Structure 1
Amino acid sequence: MPSSRLHKRLEHLERLDDLEPSGGRAERSRTSGRRAERSQETSGRRAERSERADRPGRAQPADRTPRPGRPPRTDRPDRDRPDRPERPERPGRPERPAPPERPDDPLLTAKLSVPRAAPGLVHRQRLLDRLTLATQGPLTVITGAAGVGKTTLAASWTASRAAGTAAPVAWVTLDREDTPGVFWRYVVEALLRTGVVPEAYIGVPACTDEVDHSLLVRIAAALERLPGPLVLVLDGFDLVPGREVRSGVRFVLEHAGPLLRLVVIGREDPLLPLHRYRAEGRLAEIRGADLAFTRREAAALLRGHGVEPDEGVVGALIEHTEGWATGLRLCALAMAQSDDPACFARSFTASEQAVADYLLTEVLAVQPPATRELLLRVGILDQVHPDLADALTGRQDSERILRDLVRAHAFLEPINGTHWHRLHPLFAETLRAHLRCEQPGLEPGLHRRAAQWFAEEGPSAEAVEHFAAAGDWGRAASLAVRQLMVGTMLAGPGEPAAARTFSRMPDDVPGAAPALVAAACCLSRQDLPGCRSRLDQAQRAQQARRGPQPAGRPAADGSPETDGSPDPDGHLDPAEELTTALLRLLAELPDDRTAEALAHRIAELMAALPPAELAARPEIDALRRYGLACALLRAGRPAQARAELDATVRGCPDDATVLLRHQALGRLALVEAVLGALGEAEQHGTAALGLADRHGIPPTHGSGAGHLALATVAVERGDAHAAGGHLDRAEALTDTSSDPVLLAERCVLRSAVELALGRRQAAVAVLDAAGPTGCPWPAARLAIARSAAALAQGDPATAVAVLDGVAPDLPARAVALGEAHLAAGRAAQATPYLAHAHAADRDATTATDVPLAVTLSDRVRAQLLHAHAALLDGDEEGARAHLAAALDTARPERLRRPFTDAGPWLRGPLARLDAQRGGHNWLTRGSGAGSGPGAGYTAGAGAAYGTGPDAARDGDRGRLVVEELSPREKEVLEQVARMMSTAEVAAELHLSVNTVKTHLRSVYHKLCVSRRRDAVDRARELHIL
């Protein structure tokens, strides 16, 4: 061996001696010395022979004969020992690899060092505590997709441990290039660095490619003699190639004794017998779902990057990223540089370059070519089935590839109990974008294949969505109509997926089915004119397809002309006929008789459908009932409308029909409020608003009926300010301007609030701006409100005149006319209306079927009207009896408004009645000394609503609670009294922050305060707390 190579070899050996324990060093030193001596002797002999060979005239000895069968060699010099030929080198013998690096080498040091925390690290105590508990056992596995925070958790846990009091931690970061020898060399060095493993006991691997079993025995024996627990962290264990390392780790884990705590980190489960460890209770697991950020942790992450988020921003980020740590961090970094962080967060998708680069590099690029191709093709899907993947790729082994991806935590997770898998939304977006870039033009064909696969499997919304994504709008619309998806579009939560899909459909797609679907889209966003236009287009298309038959609207039985493929007899498809009839019932605002005929026809068509299909579409019957209820209400039949709305609510049992349930609850509450069932109206109205809050129903799809119902309750109970707040929120919703009933009620309530606040001209102007409604019930409600406004202005003549167009048999009209004539001093002219009002009151009290338009307010006003007439006739006993009856009727619902609107004549009789029987404190809003039951009414409605001079004198402390606090409101107030923030109250009671704020606003209104501290003090004064 040349001298230079020998010296290099000796230097390697000396460096290795520095790494070894003393015993190992001594043995290796003796071996290396003997090898060096032999090498020097051999080198000297070779040099001497070379020198002799160079001498001129030197010939080969005569007695040297060549080996049999082999010619003599003449091209090399003679040996100094001809009797012992030189041993030839073995062909293909590998050169011994260099030993591992020294421990102070930068690469080795980095692999043995705990990773440093990134700036803005979130302290996640729940995970730290869980890892502390997990490391009480022998094996902890931390697995998850790229960037979920596996290494960050282990590193922060290691850094958080108190020095000297916790078990030492040996850390090794692994790579794909770590052969068995290199792996165990790093493990040995990491163990030695802890200072608790005896250095002279273990030794090191002899080479990098393999490890002698005796080394594993020595490692296990050393760990068995540990003085206390020791944690060994193997980060990236799934990267180490081959089975030799895994089998060695298994051997050490089995024989190391009870003090070794092994923590294995990787993207996939280690090839260890986890099932056995799990069954024996020796395994702790922390998975990707456990590592997902919660809302509170995501908010802390954003604040760590200088972004102060609100709850909506955090919710949007959690929805987009599903708690993926790297996605949240990349978004936080971008938000910190954005001019509008909130807007950026809500629009954050995988199109952000940083997110796409990370996913493409860390997840897609590391996959084999076949797996990459499969991922790109199934990226068009929200959920993947092996058979569907085969259809998209043309392969037969998609199930195996999907199973491997799940095991590798490659942002694909199985859906429990099925063969389906789900891609992470950001990863799916990245795959779709990459597919368009790498293979443009392929995506529509993939969508068409997927649509055909879904259609062959059975009715599904996915087939419709993929046909639409492929640009085949005609097939998508026809399939949607046949599957009765219009019901889902009108009843589903928020903006249903089908409505979003067809909102992209071009306007010029021919055929009746696209027109019907477009009509449903218009109706879902409260665009009634657009819906009617599309319905006309659909009927023209179906008429053209049916041939030369007379055109026209449906017959009196409500049978519509529908879009559908005619059978040989010329009849239309039942599903398409049903769809058209349902849209007409909901959008064309038919009168009650036509609506009843349409509803009957829809029921007949439903009976013709297969029972299984009908059971899968409960929203169809609920929509039928809802459309009929709206028509009955427009016609002035609120009692029947209430029954149909109640059936609608019961027919919407789950989240799939949350939009319809929200709308029906709001209308039901409004009808109940108008009829006088204020307690039920408040309950149902609050439930309607809660649904919209929890499910994020947008204003374009939500209903203002719930707010109008609560405003009615507030007006009838004497809280004009609360009513105004609900009216403001109702006016921001579309249907309170497009629906005639809701528009009329909005104007009636706004006029009542203006009157309560003393603004009489504004009250009249609001009603004048309402315009004609074209429906009996809204028109009557507006006319009666105009009469009340005119009477408040001291104009009885106008109050009578505006009622000319109202149906004569309406009890509210008789009461309003009687009040106007009595106010004008025309007792004789009021007599007929008194009789009518008395008959309405008697019928409402005794009949089993309450008259359709008799409300609680009408009954109380009729009783007060009789009391006033008796008082004018000098019959104080009769007046007192009627007044007592009015109070008894109004008390259960705390109906105050008829008394506040009655005028000053009521002060004396009410005071005398209170002196006799008492119990009327619920009427007053002032409770100080000298304010009797009727005191608040002597100055008119303004004082009663807390805006007149008496109310100003009494102040907030003198006002009574309008209504008892609900149990949930009391719970919220109790938490507030404990000095908890709104967010803390929400977490304690498992509510959303917005729901807590809603309850607090209601508490403030009921306690007549405007601040938390005042609410708590007032509640304690009233012994609520």
Structure 2
Amino acid sequence: MPATERPTQGRVLSWSGDPLLAAKFAPPAVAPALVTRPRLTDALSAGAQGPLTLVTGPAGAGKSAACAGWSRAGAAPGPVAWLTLDPGDGAPGVFWSYVLEALRRAVPGRLSGLPVPACPGRVASSLLVRLAAALEGLAEPVVLVLDGFEKVTGRQVPAGLDFLLAHAGPRFRLVVSSRVDPLLPLHRYRAEGRLTEIRGAALAFTPDETAALLRAHGLGVRDDAVRDEVVEGLARRTEGWAAGLRLCAVALQDAGDPAAFVRSFAASERAVSDYLLTEVLDAQPAGVRELLLRSSILDRVDPAVVDALTGRPGAEGVLERLGRDSVFLEIVPGTDGYRFHPLFAGVLRRRLQIEHPALVPRLHGRAAHLLASAGRPAEALEHAVQAGQWRFAASEAVRGLLVADLLAEPETSRIEQTFSCLPASVPGAEPALVAAACRLIRHDGPGCRARLRPAEDAARQGRPEAVTPEFRLTLALLRLLSVPYGPCEGPAAGEEAAAVAADLTPRPVPEHPGAHPGLEALRLRGLARSLLGCGLLDAARRTLAEAVGVCPPGTAVHLRHTCLGLLALAESADGALTSAEDHALESLAVADRHGLPAGHRSGTGLLALAAVALAQGDAEAARRRAEEAALCPDTRSDPLLRTQEAVLRCRFELAHGRWEAAAAVLAGRAADEEHWPAQQLALARAGVAQARGDHLTAAAALRGGTGAAALVALARSRLAMGSTGRALALLARAENTAHAGLPDRVAARLLRAQAAVAHGEKAAAERLVGDALDAARPERLRRPFIEAGPWLPYLLERSGGAGALRARSGWLTERAPGSGSPFPGPLQPLSARERDVLACVQRMMSADEIAAELGLSVNTVKTHLRSVYRKLCVSRRRDAVERGRELRLL
């Protein structure tokens, strides 16, 4: 035995005589409101089956608590020797003195003859040899837990541990808890499969564990929605950081409104700021502390940018060490940059503002220009705004085509939020473009057009900033997409803007072909919307189908959602009901699948589904879908969608015989300047007039209409007024119209059949009705048959031969899902007196009895009965009563 080392005579440090501190050999005391986490206990138990388990994470990650909980749970494979390390324990002699005592306490009597170090600065190799030999002779495993190993500096102690792991035999197990990786050859242990690692991500609290922690702190919230919001908010803010959760839980106990506390980022930061400042920031050297403060303004901390912000090179090495040492800094996957933990970043920024308030805008300005030069315009403009450099920010937004990205994906873009406080006094054409785009995504079309004027003036005058391809492309897109909110200049205006955009699109970004994936789809959507407003349904459908085809999968979600909805709307108007329903449902599925916020959802798909339901005879489903669409912001702002929603509500009321309510829906609505919405309003007004029997007013509402729908509606009024020749001439014009849709073609054939019935040409009428049934059947188009009038059911019931016409109409009499009948309501409502007469018929009263009951003449009663039969499309008393019950008139 060397003379410098001798067996211990007591529990003291041999060179100083100071006692060994017993508190260091026991796991930390159980924290209040402890949450047991079985998954970590299981992970430590599995790791302790091998020689080395490493538990690493930032300050307050719960390393000690996890190891202590595992030790107390008795889940270790044998006795546990616990040692909590302090800053002075890194000297080899001190360290191994405490290790020997910890192991003696765990396995009494087995290590009593081992020497103790005689000086703090070194340990003889013979001590480690004897310790390894003693451990190799153990009958059962022993686990040494070293808690707080980051306090051990230098290579001597790690080298001794490595020797011990190599020679102490299979029953010695080591668990190291540390903020940083120890200087052990971890790569070799990994390659040999002898290392278990439990890192910060595994230590983070899950949402379920967060909820358990809040309950343990007595923070039970009765309301499920509030509880879920609190748990989700805390988990997101803290990213599962144990100390942060506990500090926030303590602060929540004094908060009157837990949900408001969680929503306030400042409140979360205040709760953890003292801990982070003391345990993390103040523990760093002065130079590193300054680096952390200055780089805190960055969302992505890149070494080159940090070098420029600090004015000193070498940030890469410092950041790498900080990331390795778990100083709340982690690598951003796929980049050479890092990111701060959100709470740590907030604390750093507040400290920077307190210590160097004048430096903050200068740092943001410097970062803006650095990031712009590095080709990262989105990040650059955010820093420019923080620095108050609005014109530079707008210039970068235009130069980087970020306005196009904003229009394509407003739900994920930070640009609108960045420019939400753009002062109106900022001069220049580029700020005008950005302001116009922000107005457009808020569905403020007139505001967009007004803010485009300075940019348009700059383009006309050829100012330097207005001649770049990026500026011209952005201007062309904004003009194209804001066309619905200005005067209707015909499709030529939209086509011209779309052509300019198409001509410019490839030029700005040839070196980054995938940088702006929604550009072409955005251009096509704008062109299609212009075509749709002008009533060119075929061209709009082709363009929208092309737009959907070029929308990149997984990106431009809002754009794809809107294009699908517009396509469905155009198809529903053209009578392609099956395709319209498919595309509308796909539009809604895209929004649901990607969690599109309600404020960014389009009403186009819902309006298309409402139109399909109404066309197929399901008025109630149409009403529900139209009500959903009315809640969408674009339905309220886009004149075309606003008109379409009103027309659908009007037709729903007419389908239930409420022409007064239908007229009220249209009251006060001026004819739109776009062709198609104006035509839709005219048709709706004519339908209301026809429902109340005012065919002259209906014809006046349709005067000047040249489309197939207007000509068919006008023919219906002329036929009702007895002008059969005029009606047939109008129908011939409608059928020869190039863009006559399926509903118009079916309605025209039915009107020809009605005219044939009036002239006693039953065979011709049956042939025409059969053609209409065959044409409408693939799309289940019922509405023209529902609105045809009482002659149609009469003709179907009395069709000649073997009932071939009745067989062909079988699909028509199937009940539509959710509807009461394939003929859900009279085209003309019953008057109050007609309802009284029908109520008497239900009581099986004769005409004489009804006359006496109501004080009418018998002839007047018979006149009312004939009107009731006509309006209810029946010919017998029993059928009238049944129909009245179906319609809830009785």
User: Do Structure 1 and Structure 2 share a fold, with TM-score over 0.5?
Assistant: yes
**Structure 1 position 743, deviation (Å):** 0.8
**Among 423, 442, 445, the residue aligned to 1:506:** 423
**Structure 1 position 879, deviation (Å):** 4.1
CA, structure 1 residues 352+927, in 2 after alignment: closer, same or farther (shift >3 Å)? closer
CA, structure 1 residues 439+907, in 2 after alignment: closer, same or farther (shift >3 Å)? same
**Structure 1 position 445, deviation (Å):** 1.2
Q: 1:79 aligns to what?
A: none
**Among 750, 762, 772, the residue aligned to 2:671:** 772
Tell me, in whole angstroms, the C-alpha distance in 2 between the residues paired with 1:801 and 1:408. Answer: 82
Tell me, in whole angstroms, the C-alpha distance in 1 between the residues paired with 2:815 and 2:781. Answer: 13
Q: 1:252 aligns to what?
A: 164
Please say if residues 904 and 939 of structure 1, whose CA atoms lie closer than 8 Å, have aligned partners that are also in contact. no
Q: 2:48 aligns to what?
A: 135
Q: SS at the partner of 1:232?
A: strand
**Residue-by-residue CA offset, 1:501-549 (whole Å, 9 max, x unaligned):** 2222222112222222211221121122221221123344x2xxxxxxx
**Residue-by-residue CA offset, 1:598-640 (whole Å, 9 max, x unaligned):** 2222333346546225653343333222221111111001221
Q: SS at the partner of 2:781?
A: coil
**Among 453, 478, 481, the residue aligned to 2:395:** 478
Q: 1:154 aligns to what?
A: 67
**Structure 1 position 300, deviation (Å):** 4.9
**Structure 1 position 233, deviation (Å):** 2.7
CA, structure 1 residues 936+484, in 2 after alignment: closer, same or farther (shift >3 Å)? closer
The answer to whether the aligner puts 1:920 opposite 2:810 as a matched pair is yes
Please say if residues 863 and 885 of structure 1, whose CA atoms lie closer than 8 Å, have aligned partners that are also in contact. yes
Q: SS at the partner of 2:50?
A: coil
Please say if residues 773 and 809 of structure 2, whose CA atoms lie closer than 8 Å, have aligned partners that are also in contact. no
Q: 2:365 aligns to what?
A: 448
**Among 74, 86, 89, the residue aligned to 1:178:** 89
Q: 1:400 aligns to what?
A: 317
Q: CA RMSD in A?
A: 3.6
**Among 313, 327, 342, the residue aligned to 1:410:** 327
Tell me, in whole angstroms, the C-alpha distance in 2 between the residues paired with 1:766 and 1:927. Answer: 26
Letter of the 1:629 partner, please give it. A
Q: 2:885 aligns to what?
A: none
**Residue-by-residue CA offset, 1:561-598 (whole Å, 9 max, x unaligned):** 277417xxxx9333223322222222243531122122
Tell me, in whole angstroms, the C-alpha distance in 1 between the residues paired with 2:264 and 2:255. Answer: 12
Tell me, in whole angstroms, the C-alpha distance in 1 between the residues paired with 2:260 and 2:581. Answer: 35
**Structure 1 position 744, deviation (Å):** 0.8
The answer to whether the aligner puts 1:579 opposite 2:474 as a matched pair is yes
Q: 2:147 aligns to what?
A: 235
Q: SS at the partner of 2:446?
A: helix
**Residue-by-residue CA offset, 1:298-341 (whole Å, 9 max, x unaligned):** 45555553134466665554443334344344444445544443
The answer to whether the aligner puts 1:892 opposite 2:806 as a matched pair is no
Please say if residues 562 and 587 of structure 2, whose CA atoms lie closer than 8 Å, have aligned partners that are also in contact. yes
Please say if residues 657 and 825 of structure 2, whose CA atoms lie closer than 8 Å, have aligned partners that are also in contact. no
Please say if residues 172 and 235 of structure 1, whose CA atoms lie closer than 8 Å, have aligned partners that are also in contact. yes
Q: Which one has the largest radius of gyration?
A: 1
**Structure 1 position 425, deviation (Å):** 2.4
**Structure 1 position 202, deviation (Å):** 4.9
**Structure 1, 658-667 or 123-132: larger mean CA deviation:** 123-132
Tell me, in whole angstroms, the C-alpha distance in 2 between the residues paired with 1:188 and 1:417. Answer: 45
CA, structure 1 residues 430+764, in 2 after alignment: closer, same or farther (shift >3 Å)? same
Q: 2:187 aligns to what?
A: 275
The answer to whether the aligner puts 1:681 opposite 2:681 as a matched pair is no
**Residue-by-residue CA offset, 1:818-844 (whole Å, 9 max, x unaligned):** 44445566545432244345446xxxx
Tell me, in whole angstroms, the C-alpha distance in 2 between the residues paired with 1:700 and 1:484. Answer: 24
Tell me, in whole angstroms, the C-alpha distance in 1 between the residues paired with 2:72 and 2:641. Answer: 62
Q: SS at the partner of 2:89?
A: coil
Letter of the 1:856 partner, please give it. L
Tell me, in whole angstroms, the C-alpha distance in 1 between the residues paired with 2:310 and 2:304. Answer: 10
**Structure 1 position 239, deviation (Å):** 2.0
**Among 416, 419, 426, the residue aligned to 2:336:** 419
Count of residues in correspondence between the two structures: 811
The answer to whether the aligner puts 1:538 opposite 2:444 as a matched pair is no
Please say if residues 255 and 261 of structure 2, whose CA atoms lie closer than 8 Å, have aligned partners that are also in contact. yes
Tell me, in whole angstroms, the C-alpha distance in 1 between the residues paired with 2:758 and 2:546. Answer: 47
Tell me, in whole angstroms, the C-alpha distance in 2 between the residues paired with 1:732 and 1:770. Answer: 19
Tell me, in whole angstroms, the C-alpha distance in 1 between the residues paired with 2:619 and 2:104. Answer: 78
Letter of the 1:116 partner, please give it. V
Q: SS at the partner of 1:505?
A: coil
> Which structure has the higher relative contact order (CA within 8 Å, separation 6+)?
2
- Identity fraction in percent: 48
Q: 2:278 aligns to what?
A: 361
Tell me, in whole angstroms, the C-alpha distance in 2 between the residues paired with 1:420 and 1:225. Answer: 49
The answer to whether the aligner puts 1:831 opposite 2:721 as a matched pair is no
**Among 27, 30, 44, the residue aligned to 1:116:** 30
Q: 1:623 aligns to what?
A: 522
Tell me, in whole angstroms, the C-alpha distance in 2 between the residues paired with 1:918 and 1:126. Answer: 67
Q: SS at the partner of 2:464?
A: coil
Q: 2:549 aligns to what?
A: 650
Q: SS at the partner of 2:175?
A: strand
Listed as ranges, the matches of 1:489-500 within 5 Å are 489-494=406-411, 496-500=413-417
**Structure 1 position 366, deviation (Å):** 1.2
Q: SS at the partner of 2:330?
A: strand
**Structure 1 position 150, deviation (Å):** 2.9
**Structure 1 position 381, deviation (Å):** 0.6
Please say if residues 688 and 706 of structure 1, whose CA atoms lie closer than 8 Å, have aligned partners that are also in contact. yes
State TM-score, norm by structure 1. 0.72
Unaligned runs of 5+ in 2: 1-5, 830-834, 836-890
Please say if residues 705 and 730 of structure 1, whose CA atoms lie closer than 8 Å, have aligned partners that are also in contact. yes
Tell me, in whole angstroms, the C-alpha distance in 2 between the residues paired with 1:127 and 1:562. Answer: 69
Q: 2:874 aligns to what?
A: none
Please say if residues 914 and 920 of structure 1, whose CA atoms lie closer than 8 Å, have aligned partners that are also in contact. no
Letter of the 1:235 partner, please give it. D
Listed as ranges, the matches of 1:772-791 within 5 Å are 772-791=671-690
Listed as ranges, the matches of 1:311-710 within 5 Å are 315-335=232-252, 337-349=254-266, 352-458=269-375, 460-494=377-411, 496-540=413-457, 542=458, 561=460, 564-565=463-464, 572-589=467-484, 590-591=488-489, 592-606=491-505, 608-609=507-508, 611-612=510-511, 616-653=515-552, 657-693=556-592, 695=594, 697-710=596-609
Please say if residues 562 and 580 of structure 1, whose CA atoms lie closer than 8 Å, have aligned partners that are also in contact. no
Please say if residues 11 and 20 of structure 2, whose CA atoms lie closer than 8 Å, have aligned partners that are also in contact. no
CA, structure 1 residues 383+160, in 2 after alignment: closer, same or farther (shift >3 Å)? same
Please say if residues 822 and 869 of structure 1, whose CA atoms lie closer than 8 Å, have aligned partners that are also in contact. yes
Please say if residues 626 and 644 of structure 1, whose CA atoms lie closer than 8 Å, have aligned partners that are also in contact. yes
**Structure 1 position 192, deviation (Å):** 4.3
**Structure 1 position 279, deviation (Å):** 0.8
Q: SS at the partner of 1:774?
A: coil
**Among 169, 181, 198, the residue aligned to 1:286:** 198
Letter of the 1:98 partner, please give it. G
Please say if residues 904 and 937 of structure 1, whose CA atoms lie closer than 8 Å, have aligned partners that are also in contact. no
